[in-house]
C-alpha cells in the first residue's frame, strides 16, 4: 500500500453515486488508497479554503464531515493526498449553459469575449470551485473537478427552458463552453472533467438510465445513480493511477 497514490473523493450529495458504484462493484477502484470526505450541499456554506486545506467554519460542520470519513477527518489537507476529485460540490453548469445559449439565441449581439467572460466569472463564483482552487494552490495534490451533472431528461419545466431555437445551438456551442471551462480551470491548477458523453442526451440533459430510483415521484432530476458514478470513475481512475505518490 505504501507506493499507491493516495486519493480522496470530496463532494456534496452528488458524490454518493461514486460510493454506490464502488459498493456495487460497478467499477474497479483498486490501485489507490481511497478516502471519501463530504456531506450534503448545505454544509458547503460552512467551509473555507486556507493554506492548502479545507476547514469547516464551526464544530458542528466539522463533526458532520468527520462522520462520513473512515479516518474521522475534521478537515481536508491537500498535502495528505496525491490526488483529490471534487465531485459536484455545488458547481452547477446546466443553468449557466442554458442562460448563455438563450442569450445567443436572441441574435448576434453577444460577442465571443462576452461569452467567455460569463462562463469564466460564473465558474469561479461557485463555492465548490473556490474550494477546489484553494486545494490546488497548495501544489501538493492533483485536483480534478467533476461539476454537478446535467439534469435528468423528462422534466417539463426544464425542457421548457430549452425551446427549439435554444436547443438548435447546443451541438455547436456546448462543446465550446466546456473548452472554456477546461481552460479556465487549468489556469487555476484544476483538471475539469466533462460529463461522460455516454450519459448525455440531447446535448444538455442526462439520460433517464442514470436517474435515481423513483426520480419522477420524488421530482429529483438532479441526483444520479451508481451507473452514473461508475461512468465518472471509469474516466477518473486511470488518471489517478498514473499520479506519482509523493514520499
Domain ranges of the chain: 6-241
CATH topology of domain 6-241: Rossmann fold (3.40.50)
pLDDT score for 1? 54
Kind of pairing, strands 33-38 and 47-50? unpaired
pLDDT score for 103? 95
pLDDT score for 47? 96
Nearest to 148 by CA among 92, 196, 201: 92
**pTM for the predicted model, two decimal places:** 0.95
Residues of the chain with pLDDT under 70: 1-2
pLDDT score for 7? 97
Q: List CB contacts of 28: < 8 A, sequence separation 6 or more.
A: 237
pLDDT score for 80? 96
pLDDT score for 2? 65
pLDDT score for 26? 98
For 149-178, give the DSSP string. PPPBTT-HHHHHTS-HHHHTTHHHHHHHHH
Amino acid at each position: 500500500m505504501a507506493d499507491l497514490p493516495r486519493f480522496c473523493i470530496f463532494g456534496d450529495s452528488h458524490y454518493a453515486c461514486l460510493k454506490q458504484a464502488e459498493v456495487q462493484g460497478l467499477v474497479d477502484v483498486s490501485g489507490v488508497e481511497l478516502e471519501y470526505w463530504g456531506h450534503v450541499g448545505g454544509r458547503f456554506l460552512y467551509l473555507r479554503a486556507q493554506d492548502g486545506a479545507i476547514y469547516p467554519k464551526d464544530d458542528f460542520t466539522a463533526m458532520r464531515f468527520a462522520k462520513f470519513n473512515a479516518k474521522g477527518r475534521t478537515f481536508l489537507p491537500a498535502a495528505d493526498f496525491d490526488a483529490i476529485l471534487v465531485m459536484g460540490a455545488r458547481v452547477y453548469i446546466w443553468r449557466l449553459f442554458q442562460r448563455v445559449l438563450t442569450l445567443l439565441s436572441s441574435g448576434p449581439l453577444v460577442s465571443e469575449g462576452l461569452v467567455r467572460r460569463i462562463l469564466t466569472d460564473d465558474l469561479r463564483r461557485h463555492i465548490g470551485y473556490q474550494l477546489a482552487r484553494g486545494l490546488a494552490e497548495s501544489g501538493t495534490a492533483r485536483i480534478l473537478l467533476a461539476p454537478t451533472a446535467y439534469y435528468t431528461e423528462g422534466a417539463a419545466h426544464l425542457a421548457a427552458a430549452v425551446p427549439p431555437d435554444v436547443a438548435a445551438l447546443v451541438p455547436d456551442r456546448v462543446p465550446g463552453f466546456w473548452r472554456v471551462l477546461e481552460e479556465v480551470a487549468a489556469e487555476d491548477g484544476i483538471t475539469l472533467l466533462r460529463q461522460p458523453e455516454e450519459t448525455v442526451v440531447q446535448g444538455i440533459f442526462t439520460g433517464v438510465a442514470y436517474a435515481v430510483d423513483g426520480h419522477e415521484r420524488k421530482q429529483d432530476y438532479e441526483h444520479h445513480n451508481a451507473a452514473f458514478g461508475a461512468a465518472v470513475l471509469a474516466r477518473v481512475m486511470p488518471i489517478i493511477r498514473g499520479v506519482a505518490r509523493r514520499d
